Amino acid sequence: MKIRSLLFISLLTLLSQSTIAQNGDMNNLVIIGNNIGTVSLKKTTLINVLKGRLDSWNNNVTVKIVLPSQKNESAALTAKVFYGTTVKGMQKFWLSLVFQGRANPPIFLDTDEEIIIFVQKNPGSIGVIHEGVDYPKSLKINIIN
């Protein structure tokens, strides 16, 4: 009985350790969006969106995710903050999810400027850029913890 309890507790500990994944510093990142039906999102909702768990916004516009590609300096931080993993891990996550047929692929862009232009042109799109880059303030999405 003691061994069983010990095994159960060990398993829970391992699970909880692995679950605490999203822990990077989000202050260095900015979320921008275009016609997503809101100007603010809860952090948990944002993570769900960026993990492909939302097909359309409350205003019925289809979600389009724009992420920094491996060449973009924000990629590592984005992967850490929102996916709890490395850039390779984030790429594998999306490759696997798209292959499952459970989400449409996100768009990976090399520079923040490209991400901003894409979001400006595409209603329903949401993107991640680095803090300090110039962007139209009307695109900013406030994140609530």
Partner 1 sequence: MKYSVKRKSHFLVILFMTILSVTVNGQKIETQFNGFGHLEFIADYSDATNAAFAIGEHDFFVNSKLSKRISFLGEYVIRFNGKSATSFLPSIERSLLKFNYYKNHNLIVGKIHTPVNYWNDSYHHGRLFFPTIDRPLAFSYIIPLHTLGLQIQGQNLGKWNFGYDLVVGNGINSTDGINTGIDFSYTAAFHIKPFENFRLGMSHFYEKTKSHNPGTHSGHSTVYPHYEGETYTGPMTLNLTSASLSYFGNRLELLNEASYNRTFTDSLGAANNWSNFSYLGYRVTDNSIPYMVADFINIAENDLYVHPFDLLKLCLGYRHEFNHLLSLKTQVEYLTSLHQHEDHSHVQRFSFRVQFAYGF
Q: Nearest distance from residue 48's CB to partner 1, in Å?
A: 7
Measure CA 18 to chain center. Answer: 18
Q: Nearest distance from residue 132's CB to partner 1, in Å?
A: 27
d(CA 91, CA 80): 12
Pick between residue 38 and residue 62 the one whose CB is nearest to partner 1.
Answer: 62
On whether the CB atoms of residues 97 and 89 are closer than 8 A, the answer is no
Letters for 14-53 (x = contact with partner 1 by CB under 8 A, - = none) are xx-xxx-x--------------------------x----x
∠ Cα 18 51 140 (to 5°)? 120
The site for partner 1 (CB under 8 A) is made up of 14-15, 17-19, 21, 48, 53-56, 62, 84-86, 88-89, 91-92, 95-96, 98-102, 104-105, 107
